[in-house]
Structure 1
Amino acid sequence: MTPAHALPARIVILGGGAAGWMSAAGLATALPGTAVEVVESEAIGTIGVGEATFPSIRQFNQLLGIDEAEFLAATGGTYKLGIQFRDWRRPGTHYFHTFGDFGPLTGPMALWGQFQRLGAQCDGGLGEFCLPTVMAQHGRFQTPSAGDGLGARYTYAYHFDATRYGAFLCQLAQQRGARRTEGQVVAVARHADGRVRALQLADGREVAGDLFIDCSGFASVLMGQTLGQGFVDYSPWLPLDRAWAVPAARAGDALAPYTRVTALEAGWSWRIPLQERTGFGHVFSSRHISEERAREQLLAQLDAPPLDGARLLRFQAGHRERFWHHNVIAIGLAGGFLEPLESTAIFLVHNAIGRVIQLLTQSPAPQPELAAEFNAQQTRQYARIRDFILLHYCLSERRDSAFWQHMTQQALPDTLAYKLHAWRETGVLHNYDDEGFDETSWLAIHTGMGHWPQRTSPWLKEVPVAFAQAQLAQRHAAIAQLAAHMPRHEDFLNTRLAGTRRARPPRGDTP
């Protein structure tokens, strides 16, 4: 599509890593006439641990023309059907948030409504009526097929090494014309009106640009330090501010097609299975537990020997007051951070890149209007995801530590309080604009935590009990049969990877 206004001739990205090279690959692909340059320094490390994502990463990869098998081989990736939450409702319980559907969400045959009505007469929990949940429980995987009915009603994501993903996209972006400049930024030159003119490097070089993308991580060199954009603090709601991360050897058990998240004394731990190793981490509140005790709790979660020492990350939940100011756009950690409970870090990066590309190529408005629209969308989305993360905590029945007492009894944002009221009182799954998660995801958390509506539509009771029972039984049996005939996750992955060469870069053709 031909833009209705002039595109920036030179886009400079400060910082590499996954965010920087995702930005470079996306912009170089979508704006082939624009010069894209990434400035990064090998002396400055990146925050790269085993990453979990959700299904939108597939659309981003597809837009870049990335072959799935090459991507999985290059990043040590595996498939992900969702997240298993352990000990969240109370110790000893678990449930899945998976990327499938629960049938109709409204109307007389709303599956969850009929299940609540007839649950005592049904086999298993509500999760057993969702195909990817059953697949995950049994370690099965195959890609959806439109020809098998229920099998088409789910999607999937990936686990992968974020550092290797950044390197993979670095090659792709350079194949498509992006330039890499090695150097450490020591100063930022600005125009008289406040816009950034150039990055000044330690060796005296200058890298000038028309539009700058800040992917400098928590340092937020351009948006925070240079332009002075303040921070909107979410820590009153999300006090978790530290994370230990450690890689471990592959355990001897089957390769799980899901992330495992376990609630702990003052936070939670993750387990992310990759091809050659397993990533473990512990996200916690330093107000409620010491760093050393949190590290001990992480190491107790390991099911195989560690491959390296545990690394400590410090952060604060929230985002910059603006994500786009003057001619600078902050993407990734430079713009904000939310604890990775629902694997939103990579999503927030590629979603922001998509918005930037859309605004640059489709909007006739001058830059201030583009920036205002981008800032409004980004601010809403961070708040929506914040609320979804909070949902996991406020529904918990745990009161066994000071942390859980705080998280389950705190005052909630009005946006979340209204959603909870709507569901509890009427069974309505209310969504706002710029949500990160759809109604099915909210349903999975509500029902997984045992949070059912107090009142539902009388329409549900107009369906004869025998008919509703038969429909539920039919779906339950069909899902069990489909999952039973699927290959094991590791077998499917190995078949998918057959014939690929490890770390082979993707083709440079523009999709």
Structure 2
Amino acid sequence: MSNFDRIVVVGGGTAGWMTALALVTGLRGRTVEVIESEEIGIVGVGEATFPSILEYNRLVGIDEADFLRATEGTYKLGVEFRDWRQQGESYFHTFGDFGSLTGSHSLWGQHRRLGDAVAGAFGAQCLPTVMAQEGRFCAPNAIQGAPFKYAYHFDASLYASYLRRLAVRRGANRTEGRIIAVKRREDGGVRSVLLADGREIHGDLFIDCSGFRSLLLGRTLEEPFVDFSHWLPVDRAWACPCEPSGDGITPYTRATALEGGWAWRIPLQQRTGHGHVFSSRYISEERARDQLLQQLDGRPLAEPRLLRFTTGHRQRFWVHNVVALGLSAGFLEPLESTSIFLIQSGLGRLMRLLAAAAPVDAAAVEDFNGGLVRQFARIRDFIILHYCLTARRDSALWRDMAGMALPETLAFRLHAWRESGVLLEYDEEGFDATSWLAIHAGMDHWPGRADPVLQELSREQAQQALAQRREAIARLVAQLPAHADYLGQVLAR
């Protein structure tokens, strides 16, 4: 294979313009053309992200204040999960840590040993969790030794437009048009795409960012789809923006478990994004829509919009001279905001191959595909974890999720945790051991026995260590600005 001088990106939206901006910024001497159609539009709702987006912004030279102004963005410290274990309970998965994970000074181990009555709430041991609960925010670099990361909420349509402006300014070519046919090469790859107005666009490498249609990889090359819906049965989502509430802009996403799925809440500067992700096996579209409207903070700003999908991914992501990124490659429900992370992961792998001096060969493509397959599987397991630990039995969905057969990789991880308190980590992880611990703790899912090494600290020493960390975090958070105040300072730059 060559190193592809002419690259055609099929589809705009978040995936297409993230790809185009990275290509024109990071590679020299390549022609980058993006084909998108205003007739088709994009899947644009309130978007929540993962901390990796900060690295993408840094690599392509995006200024944070400019970005937040352009996208109605706000800061995100993590996700609050309501009613997942049982109705009336909640917990946070934030982008911070709980101190040491191993040894006699393991904070989670000592916390579990002492019990909540003595040790207090486990979330109080995590700085960004307390920040989220108190509605405060400050960038980590402003706090000496702050052990946390952050991400953003923003309007996905505005984000795509913002990236498009930057990419075109840096040399990407934008072609408005609707693709009506794809012409193949003798080896099975794609030679060109034909637009409705008769234009024919040729390329050496085609990047499929056509969304759920998967126009090139799925429809044209007929790459099989690996279906995860027997583990993750949600297949619909209603989305609706509303007026912001009077409670201020919270620095976290909210995911509330409902009868047949869960509802998201994503606070932006001038509105709040709401949605209901659900399974049509367990609840009708009409009932799910009604439940979404009951979740809104304020007056709806548009009619609810329905999206249909299947969780899973294409068997391969790079076939011949076609690479799929974004929804055309696969989709995992947005419970932990991994859609853009998966785009970024695939794009990073692609950029490294295209920037290398050596041509991209079959072995490199196989490694590209294998890495992404494993990453989808790792994130799939992490999402299933949120469901399979539930104690809810109030509807068919939750009863079935609690009793379903698990993927072997997840079943083994759960066995290791239950038996010995080991937080296993595989290759190509999307979430580290601390994130797994946050879900285990939030779902009150602890090992059946404690590590004997914990006994090397007296109960008094353990209690003192936990109290000191909890009190230090509380003092620090009390000095931080409210999220809205900090955001206002950044936007005024």
| Fold shared, TM-score > 0.5 on shorter chain | yes
Of all paired residues, the percent bearing the same amino acid is 62
- Aligned pair partner of 2:334 in 340, 343, 361: 340
Deviation at 1:32, TM superposition (A): 2.3
Alpha-carbon offset, residue 360 of structure 1? 2.0
Contact 1:128 1:134 in 2 (8 A): yes
- Measured in 2, the distance between the counterparts of 1:120 and 1:435 equals 30
Amino acid at match of 1:28: V
TM-score (ref. length: structure 1): 0.95
Distance 2:257 2:335 in 1: 11
CA distance in 1: counterparts of 2:283 and 2:57, whole angstroms:
39
| 2:457 is aligned with 1:463 | yes
Structure 1 residue 183 and structure 2 residue 214: aligned? Answer: no
Q: What's 2:441 paired with?
A: 447
Does residue 378 of structure 1 match 2:372?
A: yes
- 2:266 equivalent in structure 1: 272
Alignment partners' CA distance in 2, 1:366 and 1:257: 42
Q: Could you list the per-position Cα deviations for residues 250-277 of structure 1 after superposition, in whole angstroms to 9, with x for gaps in the alignment?
A: 1111210000100000000000000000
Look up the match of 2:400.
406
Matching residue of 1:300: 294
Task: Give the one of 8, 13, 28 matched to 1:32.
Answer: 28
- How many matched pairs? 493
**Residue 250 and residue 406 in structure 1: after superposition, are their counterparts in 2 closer, same or farther (change >3 A)?**
same
Matches within 5 A, 1:58-207: 58-145=54-141, 148-149=144-145, 152-207=146-201
Post-superposition offset of 1:88: 0.3
Residue 57 (structure 1) aligned to one of 53, 56, 69: 53
1:219 counterpart = 2:213: yes
Structure 1 CA distance for aligned equivalents of residues 116 and 280 of structure 2: 42
Q: Contact 2:353/2:360 (CA < 8 Å) preserved in 1?
A: no
Q: Alignment partner of 1:173: what SS?
A: helix
The answer for the alignment partner of 2:231 in structure 1 is 237
Higher alpha-carbon deviation: 304-313 or 138-147: 138-147
Could you tell me how far apart the structure 2 residues matched to 1:205 and 1:162 are? 29
2:415 pairs with one of 421, 431, 437: 421
Q: Whole-Å Cα distance in 2 between the matches of residues 304 and 79 of structure 1? A: 21
Change (3 A) 1:175 1:446: same
The alignment partner of 1:246 has SS state of strand
Compute the displacement of 1:468 (Å).
1.5
CA RMSD, Structure 1 to Structure 2 (Å): 1.2
| 1:456 to partner: Cα distance | 2.7
Provide structure 2 residue ranges, at least 5 long, that are not aligned to the other structure. Answer: none
- Give the match's secondary structure for 1:148: coil
Q: Deviations over 1:287-324 (max 9, x none)?
A: 10000000000000012000000000000000111100
CA separation in 2, counterparts of 1:367 and 1:212?
16
Aligned partner of 2:240: which letter?
Answer: V
1:248 corresponds to 2:242: yes
The correspondence for 1:358, drawn from 335, 352, 366, is 352
Q: Distance in 2 between matches of 1:467 and 1:364?
A: 57
Tell me how far 1:469 sits from its aligned partner.
Answer: 1.4
Tell me, yes or no, if structure 1 residue 493 matches structure 2 residue 492. Answer: no
- Given residue 75 of structure 2, which amino acid in structure 1 is its aligned partner? Y
Q: Distance in 1 between matches of 2:86 and 2:251?
A: 24
* Alignment deviations for residues 58-116 of structure 1 (CA, whole Å, 9 cap, x no partner): 11011111000000000000000000000000000000000001101111101100100
CA change 1:225–1:265 in 2 (3 A) is same
User: Contact conserved, 1:234 with 1:317, CA < 8 A, in 2?
Assistant: yes
For 1:463 and 1:124, locate their aligned partners in 2 and report how far apart those are by CA, in whole Å. Answer: 18
Per-residue deviation at 1:147? 5.4
Separation in structure 1 between the aligned mates of residue 407 and residue 284 of structure 2, nearest angstrom: 28
Paired with 1:447 and 1:363, the residues of 2 have a C-alpha distance of: 47
1:124, distance to aligned residue in structure 2 (A)? 2.7
Instruction: Report SS of the residue matched to 1:236.
Output: coil
* Structure 2 Cα separation of the partners of residues 216 and 168 of structure 1: 19
| 358-367 vs 17-26, greater mean Cα deviation | 358-367
When structure 1 is superposed on structure 2, of 104-113 and 361-370 the one drifting more is 361-370
In the TM superposition, what is the alpha-carbon distance from 1:461 to its structure 2 partner?
0.7
Q: Is residue 425–residue 456 contact of structure 1 (8 Å, CA) maintained in 2? A: no
TM-score (norm 2): 0.98
Q: State the Cα deviation string for residues 353-400 of structure 1 (Å, max 9, x = none).
A: 111001222373643222111110110011111100000000000011
